[in-house]
Amino acid sequence: MSIIFGITLLLSLLTVSYAIPILDGTTAHHRFDGIGALSAGASSRLLIDYNESYRSDILDLLFKPSFGAALHILKIEIGGDMQSTDGSEPSHMHTKEDINCYRGYEYWLIQEAKKRNPNIILYGLEWGTPRFIGENSTGFHSPDNWDYILRWLQCIQNTTGYTVDYLGDWNEKPMGPTDYVKGLRSTLDAGGFSNTLISLMDNDYSLNNLVEQAVQDSDFNASFISVGRHYACDYAGPTVESVLHKPYWSTEDLSMPNSWLGTSCWAQLLNRNYILMNMTSTIAWSLIWSVPISLPFQGDGLMNAQEPWSGYYNGGTDNSLNGPLWSTAHTTQFIQPGWRYLLVSGNGSGLLPPSVGNGSYVTLVSSDNFNDFTIVVEKTVGPCHCVSPGTGYTADGTVEFVIGNGLPGPGTVLHVWRSNETVQFWKDTDIIIPNNSTISIFVPRDSIVTISTISTASHGIPTSAIPPSANFPLPYFDNFDQYPEDTAPVRYFADQTGSFAARSSKFMQVVPADPGPNRWVQEDVDPISLIGDNSLGNITINVTTTFQPASNATGPGAGTFGYTYTQLCGRITNYSGLRNGPPPGYCLALNATGSWLARAGETVLEMGQLSTPFDPTISRILTLTLNNEQIIGWIDTALLFNITAKQYQYGLVGLGSGYHNATFDDFSIVMVEQ
């Protein structure tokens, strides 16, 4: 007898009675505040580069009500010109004197989300800021940042016509001083943003100090509306509700591959965050995985969209539209912010017992006299971030509920939607509440079931057929003439540190100084922007480059090679900006003295000096040919090296520099003829 069969048989023989939950509308209590997703850490970078027909379908699947994920909340990064996980998002203010509201893509994403769901809630958060914030005072948590945030809010309002609903503090960093938070609140009020509310923490630190400080300082307590925690697992915050009387949210969660593993974990989190911690909102990182390959946390999104050149995208790692967007839909298509949870203590929500196969369920009722209600049941297996009570073994079983006080009674039609690893979000046969008000629903092991009075749900289908996956197109050429000045991202390039933009028909690195103490991660990597995919192996790369002296530079360009340089790289493999050191690939760099350097990752392959005197204001052509194990480099027409190296076989192409104005033009990638 197999172990699993034995366990199943044992459960079937158990005589322990199952107390059928009575769904009593009078226990409705906690306000449901919405399910959302994060566009942050540059995780959405390539989405804007998709052809409009495919892009529109993707956006519909994410934001359109009763269609796909139907998100209630869009949380976005306030760009800060520094590495924030899988790239760098551009700031609206590179320096104190500079402001441009049209940089990047977050304002565009807000417009698209609001176009599909005008009621979507907007939430902004900083990962870091440019160096000038607090440079002469108290650093990140300084009055400079109040003005910086206010200008960002004005930018979003001016570019989109919408007001941001919530602001966090500093992503996964210690909370700012109480005076900083109070000052930010006063600045927002004075600037016309009294309706933009502050949510504190946005990290995984202890809540104790926050609660104590709020109890002791009524002005501080009044300055924020909610408390958020990341990847809370079972970290309950009862004093947030009982002492501060504020909602407790999971302001970043999931971070799992968009396979069934991530889909099932997300289903667990959406139920158990409330059941175990009274969390009334949960936000996934990330909204969509739309970054170049070889970057950290591959596929950690509700969908994948990494090939704007082909138009291919998917909702899961099995190349289908399956994925966490459908476990999202099990909640979001049936429940809206303002609905109320039925209390765990009243058995309206809770963990299911072994006698019916374990799992969890939540019940929510509409805010309009409880005319509608929804039950979401999950028996997913996981694993997830942490082992919660009931997580792990689940079994087939029939779950029963008594539809009690205040809820629609006998004769009411309940619509049933199901998901499992094979088929996700499909409509099953309706249930009609019988005269005894007890409904029964069979819930198999490792599945999700929604039972609801809401009849508008649908499994959305893209209007355009998803094209097949394809390699990055070669030959590739860009002279950067077709882009608007200093606004939208340059096609297919994904900045990792610093900020690159189209200016004067050139591709330019424009950040004059590293973020210093305002960076999100302590690692220090000089600016670089990446393009391509893992098909780029035997190629020749060309670019014309110039640079201006660095004014305030630090970083790995220091030392004999200097701070002012540009570089051209190929076969960058498993890149991460969350570490020190040169890119893991082959790079040719030239500095302002005429010194050149060829590297394979941190290993110096060759170095030399161009003829002197060297004029750094003259444009130079960098060329790098990678042909199997043969690595060849030129500057202009001068052959610098022709060597053999075996470290890297394929990967991304990169353009990089120090923290100074650097320009790139006439960029090309061509395949080496074999």
Residue 106 appears among annotated catalytic residues? no
Burial (CB < 10 A; 0-12, 13-18, 19+), residue 269, is buried
Helix, strand, or coil here: 347? coil
The set of residues, in sequence order, having a beta carbon less than 8 Å from that of 345 and lying 6+ positions away, is 27
Query: What gap in Å lies between CA 130 and CA 654, rounded to an integer?
Result: 23
Closest CA to 657 of 505, 548, 539: 548
Query: What gap in Å lies between CA 309 and CA 292, rounded to an integer?
Result: 12
As a dihedral over the C-alpha atoms of residue 425, residue 430, residue 436, residue 442, rounded to 10 degrees, the angle is -40
What's the token pair of residue 4? 């699993």
Residue 351's DSSP bridge partners are 360
Catalytic residue chosen out of the listed positions 172, 241, 523, 606: 172
Helix, strand, or coil here: 53? helix
Residue 552's DSSP bridge partners are 513
Query: What gap in Å lies between CA 626 and CA 671, rounded to an integer?
Result: 9
Sign of CA pseudo-dihedral 235, 327, 37, 319: positive
Closest CA to 417 of 380, 376, 379, 445: 376
Closest CA to 230 of 207, 248, 250, 205: 250
Catalytic residue chosen out of the listed positions 106, 126, 252, 378: 252
Residue 77 appears among annotated catalytic residues? no
Buried b (16+ CB within 10 A) or exposed e, 10-40: ebeeeeeeeeebbbbbebbebbbbbbbbbbb
Query: What gap in Å lies between CA 37 and CA 69, rounded to an integer?
Result: 10
- The catalytic residues are 172, 252
